[in-house]
Structure 1
Amino acid sequence: MNRTTTALILGAALTAAAAAPAIAQSQPNGGAPLTIQAVTERPSLNLSAYGEVKAAPDMASISFGVVTEAPTAAEAMRQNAARMTEVMAALRRAGIPERSVQTSGLNLSAQYDYVQNEPPRLRGYQANNRVTVIIEDLAKVGTTADAVVAAGVNQIDGISFGLKDPSAAENQARQLAVRALQGKAALYAQALGVELGGIRSLSEGGGYTPRPPVMYARAEMAMAGADSTPVAAGELTVRIDITGVYDLR
């Protein structure tokens, strides 16, 4: 048998193996049969969609701080501790439970004056104590901010609004996302003139994200005698993104 004949026979054997759905071959030494499976990629649709719902927030988070400066580190910390003690008492009087108050930062740093062509001159020390407060009654947001400022807070970093339990809004967004995905898949199948098969895979992204804090200028604040600070909660957007792969027939 010449080389050309051998190549033709081998090519025909491989073609037959690829066309067959499965071929079992015996392994040497009594091993398990080896199965050669022909793989045929079926046409499919890979689509994305999203569902989005609006929800009214039912909680808020305020971050603020007490900043003090003094000639010595010990004096800066002492003044800061005294003012922060007054702030904590004001929070209790405002009805904020201890579990909703968390220290988010405590810093002590040296402060220098810089003059051109002269070495830095130590001016003193700055103590910075920052607290984050969760407020579950939105009616108390403005009055709480006023209370802590009156008690000694001189920096407010921002306020953010959120949901105590976002699962209901997320589930509603999921349903909307699936409906949008199904509608899009049916539209593509109709436009292509083919029949839409079952869904092969489905993946999810997105979800509930609290609204970023609304930032306030870090400056000395004097609220005594002023009306309660107005605060508007607005609405939150809860979005679910999904991707699905459908078979086409």
Structure 2
Amino acid sequence: MPRRIALAALVAPLLFAALLAAPAQASDAPPQRTLTITGEGEAVGVPDIAWIDTGVVTEGKTAAEALAANTRAMESVFKGLEEAGIEKRDMQTSQFSVYPVYEQMQPEDRPQTPKISGYRVQNQLTVRVRNLDALGGILDRVVSLGSNQLSGIRFSIDKPEPLIDEARRKAVADALRKAKLYAGAAGVALGPIQSISEGGVSMPQPMYMKAAMAMERDSSVPVAAGEQTLSANVTLVIRID
């Protein structure tokens, strides 16, 4: 029994010393070196969809008179758009307002309360056009049917996902290209990629085309959709040896 106690007393300090030494040895290992690099990629596409912001503004001596005139004009616009192939799901009222119109006052009459001379009704409609070849004719049609407010046209890409993926692939390729350049200049070798993170995808802002209201012509209004650019940004963390 005394020999067993003496042996245990000898082994215990050795085990304790080994446990203390293990973290110290691990901390002596050199830290892993990495290269953090960002890449950008772009993809260009042709817009295939457009939104028209159009509407009717009417005035009358009473609110009911202005509203009745506005309703008649908007019904003609809705009917004409349907005849032009626009589905109901692609037409949405975006603004509707009724407000008084005041008489213009002379400077000497300013202290007096402004008098209401009539009422104005505004009905704004957003129309999605899926066939850009028909866009010019649709613009002519809505104006001829009574639309006297056309604030602009927005062009966009209906399904941008394939272009976004193309931009992402180019962003990764750009990051790897730069990583190889920096590694070669620094005299180090690239190891495996440790992480990939997306810094964001930039969707194209809708392109606006201002449209004048003087469009009383027999031919369709000429329009140009142009191109749009989508971009992606990625960050790679790569081990270097």
Identify the TM-score tier after normalising by the shorter chain.
Answer: 0.7 to 0.9
Name which one, 1 or 2, has greater alpha-carbon Rg: 2
Matches within 5 A, 1:173-212: 173-204=167-198, 205-212=200-207
For 1:240 and 1:113, locate their aligned partners in 2 and report how far apart those are by CA, in whole Å.
Answer: 54
The answer on whether the counterparts of 2:37 and 2:237 sit within 8 Å (CA) in structure 1 is yes
Cα distance in 2, alignment partners of residues 152 and 230 from structure 1: 20
The aligned runs of 1:116-155 (5 Å cut-off) are: 116=107, 117-118=110-111, 119-155=113-149
Find 1:68's aligned residue among 58, 61, 76: 58
Q: Please tell me the residue identity of whatever aligns with 1:91.
A: L
1:150–1:222 CA contact under 8 A, matched in 2: no
Count of residues in Structure 1 that have an aligned counterpart in Structure 2: 219
TM-score normalized by the length of structure 2: 0.81
Task: From 7, 19, 26, give the equivalent of 2:24.
Answer: 19
Which residue of the partner structure matches residue 92 of structure 2? 102
**Deviation string for 1:118-159 (max 9, x for gaps)?**
432222221111111111111111100110000111111111
Look up the equivalent residue of 2:86 and give its one-letter code. Answer: I
How far 1:214 sits from its partner (Å)?
2.3
Question: Post-superposition shift, 1:246?
Answer: 2.1
CA gap of 1:86–1:187, structure 2 versus 1, over 3 A, is same
Distance of aligned partners of 1:16 and 1:214 in 2 relative to their CA distance in 1, 3 Å threshold:
farther
Q: More helix by proportion, 1 or 2? A: 2
Runs (5+) with no aligned partner, structure 1: 1-14, 22-36
Q: Retained in 1: the 8 A contact 2:40–2:232?
A: yes
**TM superposition shift of 1:81:** 0.9
Deviations 1:153-209 (A, max 9, x none): 111111111222111111111111111111011111111111222222222212433
Asked whether the equivalents of residues 160 and 210 of structure 1 are also in contact (C-alpha less than 8 Å), the reply is no
- 2:34 is aligned with 1:44: yes
My pick for the range that moved more, 135-144 or 108-117, is: 108-117
Residue number in structure 2 paired with 1:87: 77
Percent identity of paired positions between Structure 1 and Structure 2: 38
Within-5 A mapping of 1:154-165:
154-165=148-159
Separation of aligned partners in 1, 2:142 and 2:39 = 45
CA spacing shift, 1:73–1:41, aligned 2, 3 Å = farther
Distance of 2:150 and 2:230 partners within structure 1: 27
Q: Which region of structure 1 is more displaced relative to structure 2, 72-81 or 146-155?
A: 72-81
1:38 and 1:215 mapped to 2: Cα distance? 68
**Normalised TM-score (structure 1):** 0.79
* Superposition CA RMSD, Å: 2.5
Q: Give the letter for the 2:238 counterpart.
A: Y
Matched, 1:168 2:172: no
Q: In 2, are the aligned partners of 1:159 and 1:213 still within 8 Å (CA)?
A: yes
Contact 1:163–1:210, Cα closer than 8 Å, also in 2: no
Q: RCO (CA 8 Å, sep 6+): is it higher in 1 or 2?
A: 2
Which is further off, 208-217 or 145-154? Answer: 208-217
Once the two structures are superposed, what CA deviation does each residue of 1:20-72 show, in whole Å capped at 9, x if it has no partner? 32xxxxxxxxxxxxxxx899753322222211121112111111111111122
Aligned equivalents of 1:171, 1:136: Cα separation in 2: 23
Query: What residue is the counterpart of 2:12 in the other structure?
Result: none
Gaps of 5+ in 2: 1-19
